[in-house]
Every structure is written in structure tokens, then in C-alpha cells.
């Protein structure tokens, strides 16, 4: 546990969750109070917003559970012979609760992204077919693993967190295998969900610079996939060594493989959820970026700072377009910008 001190876990979880709450709040604000263009009415609450709110509620619950585990349990660390009985029971209760409700969080976050894609790429029939298949698969995947976790011991839920795990080891299902299978399929679904829109972004009528920015926003979801991959590595190694058995007790620190010391699965599952919450919100926050860019262009700083267009790979026509805007910007009353989706044209009135 030297790599994951309890004193550091609480502020890390709190900071990441706070950012997720801010992103979700801004998303809902944009949905209700921001017009994409002067020709459109305000957007209505949609399924992608519904699922991201579910994801936020469940992730917040998981964070609160981990706060309790840090202060009263083992902070996500392995149970050893030196661990107090009260802390052992708390750890196993937390583990059982987390195993169940984290499935809801992962499913809701991924479904939020998929339903957002549905709104963004609605005109591509091939995309819609694949997206609908993924929506069905993710929903079934979440429900299947949720039921698998809840029913590992059948109707005897108390066996999951009994102090003496000898009986549960005999009567309950293989918890370790369920954990490994979920971690593996979580990484796979992440790859499918994050990778789905990438070929279609190429078809968007955007400048090269803006298209790269769109790629960057969508690929941020890959960071949560890395967290999931680290958890999967830990679980594979731990399962082979028998460390995921219910009656397992951790050996002295010197006998623990370095990979298991370096990767704490509880920490990385929290990172996977929290960063996934960020990534699911960022595409919906694009209007704020446009507002910020427009505010900068209308500010006194615009034109004084060095241009980065030659470093961003923009074409000559794009550079000329920027220069034309700089000339017109001297008299801002002559310029009005269209905000239609997919249009970057300038209109002189």
C-alpha cells in the first residue's frame, strides 16, 4: 500500500469527482440554456443526458463508499492476517457493493456516449446500425454482470461478506473469474465505443485543425481504457496466483509480486469510472469551447499573440481566412458569424 497512501486517495477521488460534477453541470446547462445557432430552439433533455446523470449518481456513490473504506476499512488493499476483523468485514462489504453498482456506472457512462453519437452522426445509416448494436450489447453486458455479481452466492447474500469465508468459498461462484471477465470485456467495449466515431469524424466538413481537436476530445476516453487495462493486468496476475479466492490472506510485502504492489485495482477502477465520466461529458461541452474562442477573437488580445497556424498544419486557404477575419475584425460591426452546425463561413452584412 506504499504506492497508494490513504492520505492521498481521498483528495484524489474528491478532485476527480468534483471535476466530473462540474462537467456534468455545464453539460446540462448547455442543453437547457444554450442555442446551437440563432435558427434553432434550445435542446431538450435527451437519453444521453439521462444516462450521464445516472452515471454521475452511481460514481458519486462509489466515491462515498471508498471514503468510508479508506477511513474504516483497508482502503482497497488486500486483507492480511494482521487486519482487524472489523476492517475485514467492511472491506468485503465494500467489495461486494462495488462489484455490483460499478456495472451500472460503466454501463450508464458508455450508453451516454453512444446516445450522444446517435445525435451527432444521425445522418449516417451505417453508423446508426453499428451504434444501435453497441447500445444493445452494452445494456445487456451491464445487466448480465450486475446479476452475476449479485447472485454469486445465490440467495445467501450474507456469505459474500462473512468474516469466515470458508463456507462461501465452497458454496459461492468463482468471484475471481467474474472479475477477470468483466475487466476484459470492459476494455473491449471501451475500444468499440471510443473507436466507433473515429472513421466518421473524417467525413465531417471541418478544417483540419478543428477536426484534430474533435479527434482529441473523443480519444480522451482512451485514458479511462488505460486504467481499465491496468486493472485487467492486476486481476490476471492475481487470479493465476490464487489471490482472488474468498478466503485469501495477503502474504508479507516482500513476497508480493511487484506488479501487484504497483497496481491497486480499487484505485484504478475508480480512475476508470471518474475519467470515463469526464470523457462522456467533453463532446457535449463543445459549445463552450466555441464561445471561449469567439470571446478570445473579440478580445483586445486577438492579433497581438503570435499565430500558431503554421505549427498546426493548417492549409494556405485557412491562413488566408484567418487574415481576412483579422482585417474585418477592425470593424466588428461588419462581421457576423454563422453558428450553423458544420459551417465556418463568414458573412459580411
Tens digits of residue pLDDT in 207-219:
777 777 777 777 7
What CA–CA distance (Å, rounded) separates 128 from 175?
Answer: 36
pLDDT digit string, tens, across residues 3-16: 677 778 899 999 99
In terms of domains, do 319 and 247 share one? Answer: no
In terms of domains, do 331 and 244 share one? Answer: no
pLDDT of 107: 95
pLDDT of 297: 54
In terms of domains, do 251 and 321 share one? Answer: no
Give pTM, 2 decimals: 0.76
Asked if residue 174 belongs to a domain, the reply is yes
Among 230, 255, 285, identify where a domain stops: 285
**Percentage of the chain with pLDDT > 70?**
72
In terms of domains, do 280 and 309 share one? Answer: no
Among 285, 311, 331, identify where a domain stops: 285
pLDDT of 319: 46
Residue 96 C-beta-side C-alpha neighbours within 13 Å: 19
pLDDT of 289: 66
Asked if residue 262 belongs to a domain, the reply is yes
pLDDT of 133: 95
pLDDT digit string, tens, across residues 266-295: 888 999 999 999 988 988 887 776 665 555
Q: Tell me the pLDDT band of 196, cut-offs 50, 70 and 90.
A: confident
In terms of domains, do 107 and 216 share one? Answer: yes
In terms of domains, do 120 and 214 share one? Answer: yes
Closest of 57, 62, 68, 73 to residue 21, by C-alpha: 57
Domain count, the chain: 2
pLDDT at 78 over 70: no
Asked if residue 126 belongs to a domain, the reply is yes
Q: Tell me the pLDDT band of 332, cut-offs 50, 70 and 90.
A: very low
Asked if residue 293 belongs to a domain, the reply is no
265-281 and 47-72 helices, crossing angle to 10°: 150
Asked if residue 1 belongs to a domain, the reply is no
In terms of domains, do 88 and 224 share one? Answer: yes
Output the nine-digit C-alpha cell for 201. Answer: 469524424
In terms of domains, do 113 and 42 share one? Answer: yes
CB 302 within 8 A of CB 317: no
Asked if residue 290 belongs to a domain, the reply is no
Cα-based distances in Å from 104 to 51, 112, 245: 10, 12, 24
In terms of domains, do 197 and 321 share one? Answer: no
Residues contacting 49, CB < 8 A, separation 6+: 27, 28, 31, 112
pLDDT of 35: 56
3-state DSSP assignment of residue 332: helix
In terms of domains, do 39 and 121 share one? Answer: yes
What CA–CA distance (Å, rounded) separates 225 from 218?
Answer: 12
Q: Which of 45-59, 66-80, 123-137, 235-249 has the lowest mean pLDDT?
A: 66-80
Asked if residue 52 belongs to a domain, the reply is yes
CATH number at residue 54: 1.20.1070
Structural domain boundaries, residue 13: 6-285
**Percentage of the chain with pLDDT > 90?**
28
Give the residue-averaged pLDDT of 252-269: 76
CB 311 within 8 A of CB 52: no
In terms of domains, do 185 and 56 share one? Answer: yes
In terms of domains, do 311 and 274 share one? Answer: no
What CA–CA distance (Å, rounded) separates 52 from 110?
Answer: 9
pLDDT at 109 over 80: yes
Asked if residue 291 belongs to a domain, the reply is no
Amino acid at each position: 500500500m506504499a504506492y497508494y497512501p490513504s492520505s492521498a486517495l481521498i483528495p484524489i477521488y474528491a478532485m476527480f469527482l468534483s471535476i466530473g460534477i462540474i462537467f456534468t453541470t455545464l453539460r446540462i446547462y448547455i442543453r437547457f440554456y444554450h442555442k446551437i445557432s440563432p435558427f434553432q430552439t434550445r435542446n431538450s433533455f435527451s437519453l444521453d443526458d439521462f444516462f450521464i446523470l445516472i452515471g454521475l449518481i452511481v460514481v458519486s456513490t462509489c466515491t462515498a463508499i471508498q471514503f468510508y473504506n479508506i477511513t474504516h476499512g483497508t482502503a482497497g488493499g488486500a486483507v492480511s492476517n494482521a487486519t482487524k476483523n472489523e476492517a475485514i468485514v467492511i472491506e468485503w462489504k465494500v467489495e461486494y457493493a462495488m462489484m455490483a453498482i460499478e456495472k451500472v456506472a460503466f454501463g450508464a457512462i458508455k450508453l451516454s456516449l453512444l446516445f450522444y453519437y446517435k445525435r451527432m452522426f444521425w445522418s449516417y445509416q451505417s453508423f446508426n446500425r453499428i451504434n444501435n448494436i453497441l447500445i444493445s450489447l452494452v445494456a445487456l453486458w451491464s445487466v448480465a454482470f450486475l446479476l452475476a455479481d449479485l447472485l454469486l452466492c445465490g440467495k445467501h447474500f450474507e456469505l459474500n461478506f462473512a468474516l469466515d469465508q470458508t463456507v462461501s468459498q465452497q458454496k459461492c461462484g468463482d468471484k475471481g473469474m467474474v472479475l477477470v471477465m468483466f475487466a476484459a470485456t470492459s476494455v473491449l467495449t471501451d475500444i468499440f465505443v471510443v473507436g466507433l466515431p473515429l472513421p466518421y469524424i473524417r467525413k465531417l466538413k471541418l478544417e483540419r485543425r478543428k477536426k484534430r481537436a474533435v479527434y482529441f476530445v473523443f480519444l480522451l476516453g482512451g485514458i479511462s481504457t488505460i486504467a481499465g487495462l491496468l486493472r485487467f493486468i492486476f486481476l490476471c496476475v492475481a487470479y493465476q496466483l490464487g489471490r482472488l479466492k474468498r478466503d485469501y490472506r495477503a502474504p508479507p510485502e516482500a513476497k508480493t509480486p511487484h506488479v501487484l504492489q504497483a497496481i491497486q485495482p480499487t484505485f484504478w477502477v475508480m480512475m476508470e469510472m471518474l475519467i470515463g465520466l469526464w470523457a462522456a461529458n467533453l463532446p457535449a461541452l463543445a459549445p463552450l469551447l466555441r464561445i471561449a474562442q469567439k470571446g478570445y477573437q473579440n478580445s483586445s488580445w486577438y492579433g497581438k499573440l503570435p499565430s500558431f497556424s503554421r505549427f498546426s498544419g493548417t492549409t494556405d486557404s485557412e491562413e488566408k481566412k484567418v487574415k481576412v477575419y483579422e482585417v474585418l475584425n477592425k470593424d466588428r460591426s461588419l462581421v457576423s458569424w454563422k453558428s450553423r452546425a458544420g459551417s465556418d463561413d463568414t458573412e459580411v452584412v
